[in-house]
Amino acid sequence: ADAYRDALIERARALGIGAQVLFAGTTDNVYPWLRSAQVFALASRWEGSSIALLEAMAAGTPIVASRAAGDAADVLDHGRYGLLVDADDAKGFAAALLRQMDDPVRPASRVDSFDAEAMMRAYHEVLMAATARPDARARAKTGGTRPAP
């Protein structure tokens, strides 16, 4: 990890941007960093459900995310709460970052849709809907097997 970090620092220096780039390392509290950021970039080509994306939303940081970054499109309501760019569109991603710095689309209170209480309600609704189906109730009574016709 140290060799990779050193290589990145050297690369930034070689590009002439060493003074503008900070490789801060690990932290136990990302919120001060997110609140001071002009924009949060999630450029993943593949991602599960990104906690980092939710943390950026909670901090109120403008977001640019790859459409390939897991559920980012759904979390950002398909661009309503942050900008979305195709994963392989580097120029588009750069343009979206600049746009977010000039005229940001902020996540507002969207993160509230993903707090623990909201998620528990959503799970409850799914479970209630699944068990409300007649065939699910019948299977529950027979220990998971289908009742005889």
Going through 69-144 in order, the beta strands assigned E by DSSP cover 83-85
Contact 41, 64 (CB under 8 A): yes
pTM above 0.75, yes or no: no
Residue 73 pLDDT level (bands cut at 50, 70, 90) = very high
Positive or negative torsion for Cα 89, 92, 94, 97: negative
Give residue-wise pLDDT tens across range 82-104: 999 999 999 999 999 999 999 99
Instruction: Please work out, in degrees rounded to the nearest 5, the angle formed at the alpha carbon of residue 66 by the alpha carbons of 62 and 69.
Output: 110
Structure tokens at 2: 């140290």
